[in-house]
């Protein structure tokens, strides 16, 4: 069968340290192809480019590794890989990240990291998004890299039902401080945004987005937020179906004719 083909992308850009960490891990298991954005694309979610051309630039080519930079979004990177560059042989596994900053709870909806992972899952292949809950430029990726390597090994060795898309978040800490891994559910919470208004030198108003996350179920012990707060790696299986199944019957009684 030969070596597994592993596709890697992210939303922090092709030169990000987290991406370099995933490339190093991927090369331990198989041949690696990377398409990552030219520029940081955080918060792009599942957006795609429709009204501008996409450019693909070769960054690096060597035995077992190809790296490209794409002018588009993380989801664009996946589409270019699966529908063009790797159309003759789809990857055995897709990895996205390692993101600078958490993508737990509702952040999964905004995340370009997870947008790419979810897009890859549409093709019937396993995909995993990795995020480290540290936004700093000098973030320590040792624990995240160790976790990612273990997860990749177990995924490739297991017969997991498809589609499979995992949202994995790693708390800040040394490898010794991580207490373990927990498969949990997505926390119910929300972001309360604040816009800071300022003026440019010409007197025009502009706005900076900021905000805080509010945990709507602080007592729950089966969520990603609880796991991270207690120094566990959170693993949340993600699905595309956003139907509120609990309301189907009730609403059907009201609206069906």
Give percent of the chain above pLDDT 70.
100
Distances (CA, A) of 229 to 31, 143, 169, 219: 35, 16, 11, 12
DSSP assignment of 75-105 equals HHHHHHIIIIITTTS--SEEEEEEEES---G
What integer is the mean pLDDT of 232-244?
A: 95
pLDDT in tens, 174-225: 999 999 999 999 999 988 989 999 999 999 999 999 888 999 999 999 999 9
The overall pTM is greater than 0.85: yes
Spatial distance between the Cα atoms of 128 and 116, rounded to a whole number of angstroms: 9
Asked if pLDDT for residue 228 goes beyond 80, the answer is yes
More confident residue, 67 or 138: 67
Asked if pLDDT for residue 18 goes beyond 90, the answer is yes
CA 212 to chain centre: 21
Could you tell me the pLDDT band of residue 1, with boundaries at 50, 70 and 90?
low
């Amino acid at each position: 069968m030969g070596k597994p083909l592993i596709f890697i992308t992210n939303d922090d850009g092709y030169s990000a340290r987290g991406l370099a960490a995933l490339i190093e891990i991927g090369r331990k298991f198989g041949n690696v192809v990377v398409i990552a954005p030219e520029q940081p694309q955080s918060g792009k979610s599942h957006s795609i480019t429709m009204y501008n051309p996409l450019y693909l630039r070769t960054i690096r080519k060597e035995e077992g590794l190809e790296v490209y930079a794409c002018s588009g979004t993380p989801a664009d990177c996946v589409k270019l890989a699966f529908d063009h560059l790797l159309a003759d042989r789809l990857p055995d596994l897709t990895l996205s990240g390692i993101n600078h900053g958490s993508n737990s709870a509702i952040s999964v909806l905004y995340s370009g990291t997870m947008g790419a992972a979810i897009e890859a899952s549409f093709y019937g292949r396993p995909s995993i998004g990795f995020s480290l809950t540290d936004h700093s430029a000098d973030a320590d990726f040792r624990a995240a890299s160790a976790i990612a390597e273990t997860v990749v090994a177990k995924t490739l060795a297991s017969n997991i039902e498809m589609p499979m898309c995992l949202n994995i978040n790693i708390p800040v800490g040394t490898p010794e401080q991580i207490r373990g891994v927990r498969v949990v559910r997505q926390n119910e919470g929300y972001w309360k945004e604040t816009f800071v208004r300022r003026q440019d030198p010409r007197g025009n108003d502009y706005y900076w987005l900021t905000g805080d996350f509010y945990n709507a179920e602080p007592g729950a012990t089966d969520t990603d937020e609880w796991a991270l707060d207690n120094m566990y790696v959170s693993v949340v299986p993600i699905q595309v179906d956003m139907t509120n199944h609990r309301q189907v019957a009730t609403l059907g009684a009201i609206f069906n004719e």
